[in-house]
Amino acid sequence: MEKSIEKIWTEAFINEQALIAPKINGLYNQKSKSVINKIRRTYEIDNKGLLPMAGIVLIGGILLSEPIIGVYGTFLILCLYYFNSKLLSQFDSIDVGSDNLTYLKDYKSIINSIMKATKKLFMFAIPLAVLSIFTLAYTVKEKSFFSNFISSDTTIFEVLGIGLIVAIIVSFIGIIVYKISTKILYGTLISKLDTIIKEMEELKN
């Protein structure tokens, strides 16, 4: 070896173009890509979890001699699956050509809108679904599991009254479960997303 390492080092770096710094956004591209993929995947898995539930409700309905209610319950769950899929498809509407920060902010606002929509679902749609199941159980009046609780002199108002109480309880428990499960499943990911947005905004200013 003729040249000293010091000489190689000094000479080589005089005109070295490789010392041009990479863009700072690259890190955020990778970090945000990873967080976004995880959030999207978790949402999709979460939603697909409704499909086996729909199957269980259908089988349960048949086993409890409530095929109509079973089918109706399955239909409601499939509606929920469709509704969630529609909400998730909002992610595809984000302009991938936009800059990283705008993309992340759009992503976050979609997550917020999904959360708001799901809360509304628990507050209004789920109680309505419960009430409709009670109404259906009263209307069907066949010899089945529910018929044990509905005597011949039970009025529709009594059934709806109990249905309303059950609906409120289901709605209340649903919102609490939703809040807890969101915190467990998405809490860390969403806070990571918030941190990236915050850091990028600070870097931008």
Partner 1 sequence: MPHAGLIIKICRAYTDSQEDFEDFYQEACLQIWKSRDAFKDKSKWSTWIYRITLNVCLTLNKKNKRRGTNVEILHEESEKNTAFKDENLNLLYDAIKKLSETDRAVILLHLEENPHKEIAAIIGTSPNNIAVRINRIKKQLKIILDGKIN
Binding site for partner 1 (CB under 8 A): 1-3, 5-6, 8-9, 11-13, 16-19, 21-22, 24, 26-27, 30, 199, 203
Q: How far is CA 90 from the centre of its chain?
A: 12
Extract long-range pairs of 154-161: CB within 8 Å, 24+ residues apart. 159/134, 159/135, 160/131, 160/134, 160/135
Q: Closest separation between CB of residue 14 and partner 1, Å?
A: 9
| Shorter beta-carbon distance to partner 1: residue 1 or 96 | 1
Q: How far is the CB of 102 from partner 1 (least distance, A)?
A: 20
CB of 100 to partner 1, least distance (A): 13
User: Residue 128 is inside which H or E element, if any?
Assistant: helix 126-140
Type of residue found at 44: E
The Cα 186–Cα 182 span in angstroms is 5
Write out the DSSP string of 30-50.
Answer: HHHHHHHHHHHHHHHHHHHTH
Q: How far is the CB of 9 from partner 1 (least distance, A)?
A: 4
CA distance 57 to 199: 46
Looking at the Cβ atoms of 19 and 96, the one nearer to partner 1 is 19
Taking the complex as a whole, the smallest distance from the CB of residue 24 to partner 1 amounts, in Å, to 6
Measure the CA angle with vertex 156, ends 152 and 161; round to 5°.
120
* Nearest CB to partner 1, comparing residues 17 and 148: 17
15/155 with CB nearer partner 1: 15
Nearer to partner 1, 113 or 188 (CB): 188
